[in-house]
């Protein structure tokens, strides 16, 4: 069965990666392979997401054997919505999957899709990355 709320793999990966990066308090560069191993994800997919996060100004990368990535924005200033939109573009939603072409007088979903989408967007907008930096210390 499919989920009602569908978040892309890239967006989910970006959110998890940023939460992981926020646990590093010393400013140390974390290598891509370390991140991929810890989060149990593909290094190639991670690299693509890191490019988007770098372009959005959330992280910086350094190449080479001692290179890696680190958070450059203060995790208290970054919301989950900021990260989500860096990967997916502006958060938009429609309250109807028929986009106004529905033949019924009332919504067959009872307005639940709009409610759930709005609630999820508000959660992303109200949740700071810093809330996750204290949840768990990862061992690399």
Q: Give the residue extent of every domain in the chain.
A: 9-90
Distances (CA, A) of 86 to 16, 50, 125: 14, 11, 13
How far is 39 from 81, CA to CA, in rounded Å? 21
Considering the entire predicted model, what is its pTM?
Answer: 0.84
Q: What is the pLDDT of residue 100?
A: 67
Q: What is the pLDDT along the chain (140 residues), one digit of tens a residue?
A: 466 677 899 999 999 999 999 988 888 899 999 999 999 999 999 999 999 999 999 999 998 888 899 999 999 999 999 999 999 998 777 666 676 677 787 778 787 878 888 899 999 999 999 988 655 555 54
What are the tokens at 33? Answer: 């392979």
What is the C-alpha to C-alpha distance for residues 129 and 91, in angstroms, rounded to an integer? Answer: 18
Q: Residue 108's pLDDT is what?
A: 80
Q: What is the per-residue pLDDT for 140?
A: 46
3-state helix, strand, coil in the chain (%, to 5): 45, 10, 50
CATH number attached to the domain at 9-90: 1.10.10.10
């Amino acid at each position: 069965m499919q989920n009602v709320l569908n978040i892309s793999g890239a967006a989910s990966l970006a959110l998890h990666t940023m939460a992981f990066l926020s646990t590093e308090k010393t400013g140390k560069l974390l290598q891509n392979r370390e991140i991929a191993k810890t989060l149990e994800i593909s290094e190639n997919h991670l690299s693509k997401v890191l490019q988007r996060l770098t372009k959005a100004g959330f992280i910086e990368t350094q190449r080479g054997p001692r290179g890696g990535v680190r958070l450059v924005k203060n995790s208290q200033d970054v919301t989950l919505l900021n990260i989500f939109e860096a990967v997916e573009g502006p958060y938009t939603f429609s309250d109807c999957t028929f986009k106004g072409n529905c033949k019924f007088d009332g919504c067959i979903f009872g307005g639940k899709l709009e409610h759930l989408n709005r609630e999820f967007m508000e959660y992303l907008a109200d949740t700071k990355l810093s809330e996750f930096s204290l949840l768990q210390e990862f061992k690399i």
